[in-house]
Amino acid sequence: MSLSAVHTRLEPSARLADVIVALSGADPSAFGPALLAWFSEAIRFDHSVVFAYRGDARPPCLFETFNRQDSHVFVALYQDGPYRLDPFCQTALARRSGFWRMRELAPDRFYASEYFRTYYEKTGLAEEVGFFVPMESGVTVVLSLMRLKRSRAFSAVEIRELRRAAPLVMSLVRLAWGDTEVPEQRVGMPDLSGQHASREEDLGVRAAEPPVMEKSLLTTRESQVVDLVLQGHSSDSIADRLGMTPGTVKVHRRNIYRKLHISSQAELFAWFVAQNAK
């Protein structure tokens, strides 16, 4: 996508007319490129992707602008488990509607989390912003715009313009993808054990030793603590969310490590990836 902004505002134009024409056309794949062409009149970005979130299901990718190599990182690896730790996913599952920056949604320890170090840094992003659109079906569609580190984060002017355009963009997204169906539960997957091993290597993690323990070893509360720890929440943040003291959170963390025979958050992340690749 071109990084030379022509205007400073997203205004009605011939390209916006193309978006509307694409919505009424016979080719649904024309909508995404038309919408991004309109965006590019005022907003500089490197990539865009659209995911649909619902319950425990792996989020299907509805649209992407990545080449094959980048798609492996941003889509395939993401769908193999890390999506559950993504602040965008958590916000979508909470059915929040609007325009958000990643930094506005990230937990207090997100940038020091194993998810950030092991997966998110691999994307090379400087910033990600998203339009969150809950649908009547229970699905939440999220349209993300991304800037790589070489392009730097979105400017205050660009963020202000995206917020101003959000009601229109969300209405267009609702019209384009409002009938998207996603099962609430994860469906059975084919045997991809060899690919799972490859993806663990791509993420720079190894399965914990001894062989990975089943998630059923953990209590419901311990599983909640695991998710929040890996999402990037501090003990104080977890305590606030779960209605317990920070000391109780630390007890849960010790019990988790003991049950899984691990001693680091890196091993906990490896266990998480292996569990969600099943």
Q: What is the pLDDT of residue 27?
A: 82
Tell me which residue has tokens 């958590």.
Answer: 90
pLDDT at residue 258 is higher than 80 = yes
The domain boundary, picked from 117, 144, 177, lies at: 177
**Domain presence at residue 5:** no
Q: What is the pLDDT of residues 205-226, one digit of tens each?
A: 554 444 445 557 899 999 999 9
**Domain presence at residue 193:** no
| 253 and 150 inside one domain | no
Owning domain of residue 19: 14-177
| 157 and 19 inside one domain | yes
Q: Are 112 and 237 in contact (CB under 8 A)?
A: no
Handedness of CA 173, 176, 178, 180 (dihedral sign): negative
**Domain presence at residue 2:** no
pLDDT at residue 161 is higher than 70 = yes
| 132 and 253 inside one domain | no
| 168 and 224 inside one domain | no
| 128 and 33 inside one domain | yes
pLDDT at residue 169 is higher than 60 = yes
**Domain presence at residue 3:** no
| 162 and 210 inside one domain | no
**Domain presence at residue 211:** yes
CATH number at residue 245: 1.10.10.10
| 46 and 173 inside one domain | yes
Closest to 77 measured CA to CA, from 57, 58, 62, 50: 58
**Domain presence at residue 26:** yes
State the Cα–Cα distance between residues 61 and 32, nearest whole angstrom. Answer: 12
| 129 and 78 inside one domain | yes
Measure the N-to-C terminal CA separation of the chain; round to a whole number of Å: 36
Q: Is residue 167 reached through a cis peptide bond, with omega within 30 degrees of 0 on the bond before it? A: no
| 203 and 253 inside one domain | yes
Q: What is the pLDDT of residue 14?
A: 84
Mean pLDDT of 245-273: 93
State the Cα–Cα distance between residues 59 and 17, nearest whole angstrom. Answer: 30
Mean pLDDT of 88-114: 96
pTM of the model: 0.84
| 163 and 36 inside one domain | yes
Q: Are 242 and 224 in contact (CB under 8 A)?
A: yes
State the Cα–Cα distance between residues 142 and 174, nearest whole angstrom. Answer: 10
**Domain presence at residue 185:** no
| 173 and 250 inside one domain | no
CATH number at residue 59: 3.30.450.80
The domain boundary, picked from 116, 143, 177, lies at: 177
For residue 130, give every residue at least 6 positions away whose Cβ sits within 8 Å of its Cβ, in sequence order, or none.
88, 99, 100, 102, 142, 143, 144, 145
Q: How confident is the model at residue 13 (pLDDT cuts 50, 70, 90)?
A: confident
**Domain presence at residue 27:** yes
| 147 and 230 inside one domain | no
Instruction: Please tell me the total count of domains within the chain.
Output: 2
The domain boundary, picked from 122, 143, 177, lies at: 177
